[in-house]
């Protein structure tokens, strides 16, 4: 059975990183953007990371510019923004595509394991769904991720446990991570 540990990705400087390096840890894998309405998610993510990393928890941050060009800049500019504005200390990887023919295989795998099931109820979520559908139409059946700050929770064996859309309450995300950590 395939797990996230079977994938190799690029770090923000272009070096290969086997995700098997994270074997035995609980992971939250996130596609991010620096100019998105959900960018403030960096704050609770960093807080969660600081509080839980000593319990075997890692957040893996993958910047992506496929959603309304909300992650402009190169890897160093993005990293500087995140560390200066939000004090992020968790690993940040190379800027990637999460949809289409050039999608990072890791994200195609994650989304296949836990497909999109909606942004939730409410006017704001319906508006995001309409905007995301228009944005992702060009990717057809390879529109794996609907928007920035989609989060995947991975257990210590590398299996995908849950998917949290950007509209999910960060308290819910943290509760799931804490439950996994025991």
Instruction: Return the higher-pLDDT residue of 33 and 22.
Output: 22
Mean pLDDT of the chain: 91
> What is the average pLDDT across 163-167?
95
Q: Which residues are annotated as catalytic?
A: 36
For the domain that residue 86 is a member of, what is the CATH number?
3.40.30.10
Q: How many domains does the chain have?
A: 1
* Residue 48, domain extent: 4-181
pLDDT in tens, 46-69: 999 999 999 999 999 999 999 888
**Closest-CA residue to 94 (of 84, 104, 105):** 104
Bridge partners, 8 (sequence order): 18
> Residue 31 CA to chain centroid, in angstroms?
3
Question: What span, in angstroms and rounded, lies between the C-alpha atoms of 59 and 74?
Answer: 20
> What is the average pLDDT across 146-151?
94
> What is the average pLDDT across 171-181?
97
């Amino acid at each position: 059975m395939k797990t996230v540990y079977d994938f190799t990705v690029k770090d923000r400087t272009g070096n290969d990183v086997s995700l098997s390096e994270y074997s035995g840890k609980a992971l939250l894998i996130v596609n991010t953007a620096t100019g998105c309405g959900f960018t403030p998610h960096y704050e609770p993510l960093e807080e969660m990371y600081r509080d839980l990393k000593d319990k075997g928890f890692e957040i893996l941050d993958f910047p992506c510019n496929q959603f309304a060009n909300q992650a402009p800049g190169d890897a160093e500019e993005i990293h500087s923004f995140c560390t200066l504005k939000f004090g992020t200390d968790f690993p940040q990887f190379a800027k990637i595509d999460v949809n289409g023919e050039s999608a990072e295989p890791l994200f195609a795998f994650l989304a296949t394991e836990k497909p999109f099931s909606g942004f939730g109820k409410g006017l704001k979520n319906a508006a995001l769904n309409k905007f995301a559908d228009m944005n992702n139409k060009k990717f057809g059946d390879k529109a794996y991720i609907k928007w920035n700050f989609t989060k995947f929770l991975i257990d210590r064996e590398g299996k995908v446990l849950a998917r949290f859309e950007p509209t999910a309450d960060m308290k819910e995300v943290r509760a799931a991570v804490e439950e996994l950590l025991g």
